[in-house]
Amino acid sequence: MVYSLKYTKIFKKQIENVKKKNKVLMEELMQKVKKLYDTPYSGKPLKYRLSNYRSLRVKGKYRLIYMVHENESEVTLVAFGHREDIYKLMLLSFEDGRKE
């Protein structure tokens, strides 16, 4: 089964920054995103307040955070960034009332 992809505004903004600064990282990210069409459950499931999300390692310490919507055969790309910051960002988005 092939899944469709969509992305959040946060993800789009983060990607624009990566495009400008690190083309190698951007290429690696795009390879990982392409694999999600066929294997959306390849990332590690997150826990606790982030249990609806999955994390996929991209080039060292960078992580792609995404959500799989099985009923719609859809994957939502939620956020991308350095492992040190991305989980804090996700938790802050819950405190602000944003889910995606």
**Interval 26-51: pLDDT, tens:** 999 999 999 999 999 999 999 998 99
What superfamily does domain 4-95 belong to in CATH?
RelE-like (3.30.2310.20)
Rounded CA-CA distance 74/6 in Å is 7
Q: What is the pLDDT of residue 92?
A: 80
Q: Are 33 and 62 in contact (CB under 8 A)?
A: no
Q: What is the mean pLDDT of residues 5-34?
A: 93
Compute the half-sphere exposure of residue 26: CA atoms within 13 Å on the CB side of its CA: 11
Whether pLDDT at 73 is above 90: yes
Whether pLDDT at 23 is above 60: yes
Whether pLDDT at 94 is above 90: no
Contacts of the segment 95-100: beta carbons below 8 A, 24+ positions apart: 100/8, 100/10, 100/67, 100/76
Reported as a pLDDT band with limits 50, 70 and 90, residue 100 is very low
Rounded CA Rg of the chain: 13
